[in-house]
Structure 1
Amino acid sequence: MGKFMETAAHRDYSKWWQKEGTWPAMFQMAKPPITGRPYSVKENYIRCVKGEEPYWMPAYFTESNIIWPDAMEEHPVPEEDGYDWWGVNWQMVDSVGGMITKPGTRTISDFANWKEELEWPDLSLVDFKADGAKIQQNLDPDRVHIYECVEGLFERLHEMIPFDESLVAFYEEPELLAEFFEKMADYKIESCSKIFEYYGRVDGVLYHDDWGTQRSGFFSNEMFDEQIMPETSRFLKFVKDQGKFIELHSCGKNIQYVPEMIEMGIDMWNPQLFINEPDLLHSKYGKQMTFAFPLTIEHGWGEEEIRKATRDFVDHFGENGRVMAFIMTDMSDPKQGEIAHDELYNYSLEYYNKLYGRK
């Protein structure tokens, strides 16, 4: 057992590890209850994810609880400069508010040697039970519960060796790469099984795997179909077979892979903001997949401007019942968010009552 896995095996997960103000800590905090709704917030969210005639347009993130385990050490714990249980060296970049692998990080000498050199986490040594009991304390039973499954199959590959070497492996070691993805999918299945067993009700999984740049995907569709899709599909099928819905977080301009996303059973994609054309996604795929699009409230807007922008958003994207509003406001003015959330709920409730012939 490697030293990083040994640390995880002896960590006391009954205590809270993340530092106040970090993304994991914010995900783990209890959210105020949502009151005054005639139907379950959870059930309405799931209706939208699955395209089953929601009662109102959900406010993305606001109406869900994120399950972010301390005991799944895909990042350093706490999330600051340090190592995960794979031995990957991470560093916090304050300007973007997130972690990246430290330049030059290498956990194996060469991809061709991964079978001999890579130490796989032994999940049987980790106290998921204590962590699960702790995390459940802050989960709102009326919200949907979503497991944040970070570091997907491709991401984990390029975190272990330099990014360019990861791409070279697609060309020079396709059979060895297929074996790597197979074993990584096995690991993802095992880790999700632990979450489903110890963290209470889990309604969905938010799977992270970045597949593109600001201009296009990393791979041709043929390469994606042949090398990314098979084991990703097998992992996602396991999740769906457990009765969970699947959201995808995949940064990059990845519109080209939407047909593959749909084929793999992904219910919802949260496309990277401002580079994936919402109108194109909505018009071409809006009946087959749910999307979370930004509803941007500009600095200095007053109440009427905020309410009008919110109504316009619902009118524009509401027709299929498969869009959530990711409300983005001036963080220095909390009142903006209150107004936008109020208008989104009340106007979209009326909108969907008319659309679906409800009284």
Structure 2
Amino acid sequence: MLLINNPPITPRENYIRAAKHRNPLWLPMKSDSVNFAPRIYPDNVARAFVVDGMPYDGPVGGADIFGVQWKYIDIAGGSMVEPGRPFLKEVSEWREKVCFPELDRWDWEKSAEENREFLNTDKLVTAWIFNGLFERLISFVDFEAAAVALIDEEQQDDVKALFQELADFYKRLIDKFVEYYHVDAIFFHDDWGSQRAPFFSLDICREMIVPYMKQIVEHCHKKNLIFDFHSCGKNEALVPAMLECGMDIWGGQPMNDKRMLVEAYGDQILIGIHCPYNQAVPAPENDEELYRQVEGFLAPYAENIKEKPFFLMDLKPDNRVREAFYKCSMKLLQK
């Protein structure tokens, strides 16, 4: 039997330990968690990402919770709002045109029953929330207008008022995930950058986004939830803002300097490191060589790994790879 299939503590407990910097026994892997994106939340259907207890073969795309229409793009494997036809012509229109859904009218009890077995796991259950603050603003007014609104003094108050309403709504939604599904973490989506740089400066992020995102994070912590931030782009310059919000985890994409991030911030936030093996780079077939390579991969982090652990964005490697990372990281963390 593989040791990783019979660990001394559950993957859930180990993941939580790592996120809270409380002596994990091994470096958690993304496969130690369960993604949960139930169909009851219309954004999951609109964004073409339903992951719950029953096979989903229904339509994808369509209206999100605010009636914004999303179109599924086959080549991208996801959905986008059709540009050039914004839901709002100006941000100030949100008070008249944006109608927040009444969550109590959704059949949460039925959804909870349908997902009971799916959520019966010893892994970290992570509920996805699509379309965070900036992403939601983009969906309302298109990207260019959203970016301008963050820095336009005449629009900033309207943006802040919208973000406050969104923060309050997301807190109510999180309450439902806790009450009916007993999730362990919230995986909150808000892309902040492109492949080369953030969409906005750290100062703008601190003024326009941090106060509202911080409320969401603090609400998660009051509910004893881990806050896992999904934010695509080269956003390493915005990590101080993530810390000010109190975020627990940020995976991040490979264009970010992960070694620098772990060294600079690894004692405050759990950073995701991409596994060296994937479809393009298979793991060596020889076990001795596999362990040699895994030890070499971990070596640059070894000196401070207890104070600055990270998690492995393992892209579903096979059991041999998982076992190698489990054993090698446990050896370093138990020294």
Pairwise TM-score range, normalised by the shorter structure: 0.7 to 0.9
- Deviations 1:252-297 (CA, angstroms, capped at 9, x unpaired): 111111112112111111112x210111111111122111110122
1:165 aligned partner: 145
Runs of 5+ unmatched residues, structure 2 = 47-57
One of 19, 25, 45 as aligned partner of 1:76:
45
1:216 equivalent in alignment to 2:197 = yes
One of 100, 115, 125 as aligned partner of 1:145:
125
| 1:340 alignment partner AA | V
Partners of 1:46 and 1:235 in 2: CA distance: 19
Partners of 2:315 and 2:39 in 1: CA distance: 28
CA contact 1:303–1:339 (8 Å) conserved in 2: no
Q: 1:352: Cα distance to partner?
A: 1.8
- Partner secondary structure for residue 310 of structure 1: helix
1:112 aligned partner: 92
How do residues 155-304 of structure 1 correspond to structure 2 at under 5 angstroms? 155-170=135-150, 171=152, 172-199=154-181, 201-272=182-253, 274-297=254-277, 298-299=280-281, 301-304=283-286
Partners of 1:300 and 1:282 in 2: CA distance: 25
CA contact 2:147–2:200 (8 Å) conserved in 1: no
CA contact 1:51–1:320 (8 Å) conserved in 2: no
One of 17, 21, 26 as aligned partner of 1:47:
17
CA contact 1:75–1:83 (8 Å) conserved in 2: no
Identity of aligned residues (%): 28
- Deviations 1:26-54 (CA, angstroms, capped at 9, x unpaired): xxxxxxxx731122221111111111111
CA contact 1:327–1:337 (8 Å) conserved in 2: no
1:312 to 1:93, Cα distance in 2 relative to 1, 3 A? farther
- What is the number of residues matched between the two proteins? 312
| 1:57 alignment partner AA | L
Partners of 1:347 and 1:232 in 2: CA distance: 36
- Partner secondary structure for residue 325 of structure 1: strand
Partners of 1:301 and 1:63 in 2: CA distance: 20
Partners of 2:142 and 2:240 in 1: CA distance: 29
Partners of 2:34 and 2:126 in 1: CA distance: 6
- Deviations 1:323-349 (CA, angstroms, capped at 9, x unpaired): 1112247xxxxxx62221111112222
Q: Which moved more, 1:204-213 or 1:99-108?
A: 99-108
Q: Which moved more, 1:64-73 or 1:291-300?
A: 291-300
1:140 to 1:63, Cα distance in 2 relative to 1, 3 A? farther
CA contact 1:307–1:339 (8 Å) conserved in 2: no
CA contact 2:305–2:332 (8 Å) conserved in 1: no
Q: Which moved more, 1:50-59 or 1:70-79?
A: 70-79
Q: 1:197: Cα distance to partner?
A: 1.0
- Partner secondary structure for residue 126 of structure 2: strand
- Deviations 1:118-140 (CA, angstroms, capped at 9, x unpaired): 22212121111211221232124
CA contact 1:255–1:281 (8 Å) conserved in 2: yes
Query: What's the Cα RMSD here?
Result: 1.9
CA contact 1:76–1:90 (8 Å) conserved in 2: no
CA contact 1:81–1:91 (8 Å) conserved in 2: yes
